[in-house]
Structure 1
């Protein structure tokens, strides 16, 4: 009897820990809101933006500024190099350890980011995949170089139509990852998804920022112009020797590599950054809208209203 009471006390204590996850499309204002929430709750921030992990990428990823980082302590900002082998599995493990440490002294932690897979890794857990022989990936990378991405996309379509219709097909890393599982296991990548996962010992409250499409697109276009004015070309020029790294096959960098390589004009490269950023925002929203538990706010909502709503959600879950 006493043991059961003790276990209940521990469980109730653990479940008073809350992760506030701030999500939304790129350029919507997540960073500013997460900082205000962290200041309000006197806590720290975990970044779940996979592009902001890399210390060489700052302007093109809209990473928090030095001033932002002084306001609130952030974790997983510029803690890796583009030369490091780092993936979502490593992030899940490290982020959960970080949360465990933070929750020893805080009841609330804020997480922010637009990388849906990395957010889900922390809040829900990853799907399990068997180890695949490295030669499979090496072979697929060779096919990418010699036959192009469309060839790999067609292979995936034949092997796993469900995954073909659900992943970002313009992301070679995602396509290769799905293909290597299909080829290495003889089973569709999609067959390993949505299995039972470990329960988290904290509660997640997900807050989403949204706006109409024209507003999102205009904000993206303005942000890209600001990036260029802030020195994006110099940042990308310094990375030219490393342009073949997977970490640099991302919006804002791959387009300017083509400019520096003489393939595109600067104006066209910038227009492609804007276009690809808008496409990325559309994919983000498609991912997030699969989650019916997100509480959405207009991007221009008053912070006091958002904070009051979050307080209400926390109080509701305690009852």
Structure 2
């Protein structure tokens, strides 16, 4: 084997990535780099479905509990950090594992990401205030009117992505798409991509069960503990926004739980849509662990 190999394990939330990544890492005696945009924050664990303490002890993990919630973390920051993590692992091992559901982070690591222009804080603050006042539909309407090219392929339910596009538009007068080059950065290691999913009814069952487990584990208490930080991007996300609405008296607890389940199912669908566009991903049923391991053993040996 001439080059080092990064195994990238992608797929929708609740498909079983964490357990499988640990199994793969144990097989190759290596470590896991999380490609999840929220599990890096120390203050939130239940709603982000972080690996358990036992799982974290089984194999080394990077980009878990690495940042304070007040820190802004972006795909560009992840790219730089993940390349450092990969170099550290490759200094000891021939194989590393990356596991997660944040498609933009995985793409940034595998292909590189363009440097975006700086956005003055005033623009960000003003747009955040508008979003707080008028909600997601206002963001969507702004971009439909002002940047239809971006909107046509955007994650239209993701306020962070939409706010970012509006920030760039306000700061530069140009679409965020103009700053995304078509060029791919060539990495000096092999990348083997595997995607896992489940039949829809199984995945939805897993999602519903996971949300119930989060509630039993104390999700409401976790959300209360981060109330002072609710304006940060890390908390503008499924599982936290709905409980904020419950704490604000906008939803009953039962309605908030049901909303988390619905929004998580929608998120899983968007994740699949994103990953299905990547022709390099070889797909497996998440239950076919033997087939996945056989494929990876062959791929790494090549």
Give the TM-score category using the shorter length.
Answer: over 0.9
The residue number in structure 2 matching 1:81 is: 68
Could you tell me how far apart the structure 1 residues matched to 2:227 and 2:177 are? 36
Alignment coverage as a number of residue pairs: 302
Which segments of 5 or more consecutive residues in structure 1 lack a partner in the other structure? 1-11
Q: 2:295 aligns to what SS in structure 1?
A: helix
**Alignment RMSD:** 1.5
**Does the CA-based 8 Å contact 1:102-1:109 persist in structure 2?**
yes
The residue number in structure 1 matching 2:77 is: 90
Deviations 1:100-121 (A, max 9, x none): 1211121100000000011111
Could you tell me how far apart the structure 1 residues matched to 2:161 and 2:219 are? 26
What is the deviation of 1:241? Answer: 2.8
**Does the CA-based 8 Å contact 1:127-1:195 persist in structure 2?**
no
What is the deviation of 1:170? Answer: 2.6
In the alignment, which of 257, 263, 274 is matched to residue 270 of structure 1? 257
In the alignment, which of 106, 114, 118 is matched to residue 101 of structure 2? 114
Matched, 1:225 2:212: yes
TM-score (ref. length: structure 1): 0.90
Q: 2:65 aligns to what SS in structure 1?
A: coil
Matched, 1:60 2:33: no
Q: 2:245 aligns to what SS in structure 1?
A: helix
**Does the CA-based 8 Å contact 2:41-2:65 persist in structure 1?**
yes
**Does the CA-based 8 Å contact 1:19-1:204 persist in structure 2?**
yes
The residue number in structure 1 matching 2:294 is: 308
Q: 1:206 aligns to what SS in structure 2?
A: strand
Could you tell me how far apart the structure 1 residues matched to 2:202 and 2:291 are? 21
Could you tell me how far apart the structure 2 residues matched to 1:207 and 1:91 are? 20
What is the deviation of 1:268? Answer: 0.3
Distance 1:148 1:250, change over 3 A: closer
The residue number in structure 2 matching 1:214 is: 201
Matched, 1:239 2:208: no
The residue number in structure 1 matching 2:140 is: 153
Pairs within 5 Å for 1:128-167: 128-167=115-154
| Runs of at least 4 residues off by over 6 Å | none
TM-score (ref. length: structure 2): 0.95
What is the deviation of 1:40? Answer: 0.2
Distance 1:23 1:88, change over 3 A: same
The residue number in structure 2 matching 1:6 is: none
Larger radius of gyration: 1
Could you tell me how far apart the structure 1 residues matched to 2:198 and 2:184 are? 33
Q: 1:155 aligns to what SS in structure 2?
A: helix
Could you tell me how far apart the structure 1 residues matched to 2:216 and 2:120 are? 45
Could you tell me how far apart the structure 1 residues matched to 2:249 and 2:19 are? 37
Matched, 1:259 2:217: no
Could you tell me how far apart the structure 2 residues matched to 1:146 and 1:248 are? 17
Which segments of 5 or more consecutive residues in structure 2 lack a partner in the other structure? none
In the alignment, which of 225, 247, 272 is matched to residue 285 of structure 1? 272
Pairs within 5 Å for 1:1-40: 13=2, 16-40=3-27
**Does the CA-based 8 Å contact 2:72-2:233 persist in structure 1?**
no
The residue number in structure 2 matching 1:42 is: 29
**Does the CA-based 8 Å contact 1:25-1:281 persist in structure 2?**
yes
Q: 1:205 aligns to what SS in structure 2?
A: strand
**Does the CA-based 8 Å contact 2:76-2:115 persist in structure 1?**
no
Q: 1:130 aligns to what SS in structure 2?
A: coil
